[in-house]
Amino acid sequence: MLSVVVIDLPEKYLIALFVTILFASILLSIRSSKYIFNILLALFAFSISINLDINFFVQKIGAGTCAITFSLPLVLVLILILSIFIDTFPRFPKIRYCPSLLVPTGLYMVAGIGSLLNATYPSLVFFELFRLSMLLLICLFVMNLKNYSHLIIIIRFLCLAVLLQGTLAIIQYKTGKQLGLGIFGEEELVAQFIGFKANRATGTIGHPNGLAYFFEILLPLVFAMFLTTRGKWNKLFYVSVLIVGFMGILTTLSRGGWVAIGIVLPLVFITLYHRQIFKLKTALASFCIGILLIAPLYFSYPIIVKRFTHTDYGSSSLRMPLNKAAFSLVEQFPFFGVGLNNLSEVFRHYDLTGYTYFMHGNKSVPHNLYLFVWSEVGTFGFVSFLLIFIMMFFLVLRVVHQVSFQQKGILIGICGGISAHLIHGMFDPGFKLSLLISILLYTLIGFIGAVFILNRGIPKDYLHHIEHMNNV
């Protein structure tokens, strides 16, 4: 009976089922729950770059469809949480959390519930509330990781994901062809004419801008790990990831991503080495890093110039009109917005400027993350959204001087990556349109909470010893 059901599944679900059975068999052969947990944790971090999901309660809404989506990283987190409950049974596991990192998203969800007053499609609001609940669950899970080694596992496998996505992006860009990885999220390459036809890489994230988000969020963390980690093999690993990832973001042809990463990487270096900036060792390190990053820039210089100077066929000129159109919605619905997750469906209907009619197709959103959020949930929701990141930065400022140098690098790298994305959000819709990037963002926010919790009441010398053992 099961065979009859399974044989009718789409190809990607058949492959996913086969891999799941194979992987489950391997896990069952491992007797140590500690090793199983570490393997699942590594898979969770790596899977954030794989756009494999399954949808439930699919509904036809307006010009498209909506559904409750369970992505691969979310499924793995649910399995990890289940394993924690099994290990602690019959006792209930102790839950630790930082209210300052969780409450703002809770307030944003409350604003989303309030936006039901104006929502044309209430089901879209509930689907988005479910998505936010799952993101909070991921954040809380990462926040409750008990060992520093768990955090290092996540970082290293995120770095492997950057290495993979960078390699795929370079191959896609050079060949101008897809690699047959559609079941893992690869989409058709986006052609961009910049005096010659260039193909924007997609990796397995989806859209080129989504791939750029992925790189811009993680490259500052990779850079910080390279600067703060010890051991030549560790440094070689992180610098390799940095170079491949840097080349990867160049292949996306994302101007917003280039600008954001160009601003943030020097700031990460200055923040970590500002007291040693004039020392000979720091100057030599800066020179070597510069050479490593300038080499890809040298070969990509003509493409970069063309991308900024050649006509983009109205892409940039439409951004401001769409932003004005979004602001017209804010003026009409200042308190509760047009409805959480409703904007793409009702933008053209409520637009008083008429600019949305110049867009191809029925759906469009402003190329500005902040106006996107403000028009959907109103002023209270917009303030709550900003508080998510403001409270994160305040918590980092509170703890950054109490931790070891490597953990300081982790915190600075995460803040740098999220800052890069927020800068890019001034020109594009950002993580709201990508579940994988949303999961990555909330994983890193949970990471900050985990570092804060792990360092409460622990002597700094002991932290240095733990850090050294993990490097070994």
Q: Give 177-210 pLDDT, tens digit per residue.
A: 888 888 787 888 888 777 777 889 999 988 899 9
309 vs 263: which has the higher pLDDT? 263
- If you ran DSSP here, which 8-state letter would residue 92 be given? P
Domain positions in the chain: 96-319+355-471
3 vs 45: which has the higher pLDDT? 45
Q: Give 369-400 pLDDT, tens digit per residue.
A: 999 999 999 999 999 999 999 999 999 999 99
Q: Give 309-367 pLDDT, tens digit per residue.
A: 766 555 666 778 888 889 999 999 999 999 999 998 888 888 888 777 766 555 778 88
Percent of the chain with pLDDT over 90: 47
Q: Give 151-168 pLDDT, tens digit per residue.
A: 999 999 999 999 999 999
The answer to whether residue 445 scores a pLDDT higher than 90 is: yes
Cβ–Cβ < 8 Å for 71, 439: yes
Which among 336, 331, 343, 415 is positioned nearest to 372, based on CA atoms? 343
376 vs 30: which has the higher pLDDT? 376
Cβ–Cβ < 8 Å for 222, 242: yes
- Banded pLDDT at 437 (limits 50, 70, 90): very high
The answer to whether residue 285 scores a pLDDT higher than 80 is: no
0.85 cut: is pTM over it?
Answer: yes
Q: Is the dihedral of CA 126, 367, 299, 243 positive or negative?
A: negative
Report the 10 Å Cβ neighbour count for 423. 18
- Dist. CA 364–CA 471, nearest whole Å: 47
pLDDT, mean of residues 273-298: 68
H or E element in which residue 56 lies? strand 53-61
Q: Is the dihedral of CA 296, 299, 303, 305 positive or negative?
A: positive
- DSSP 3-state assignment of 65? strand
pLDDT given for residue 375 in this prediction: 94
Among 109-113, 271-275, 459-463, the range scoring the smallest mean pLDDT is 459-463
**Helices vs strands, H then E, count in the chain:** 17, 4
> What token pair was written down for 283?
């100057």
pLDDT given for residue 471 in this prediction: 56
CA atoms within 13 A on the CB side of 118: 26
Percent of the chain with pLDDT over 70: 85
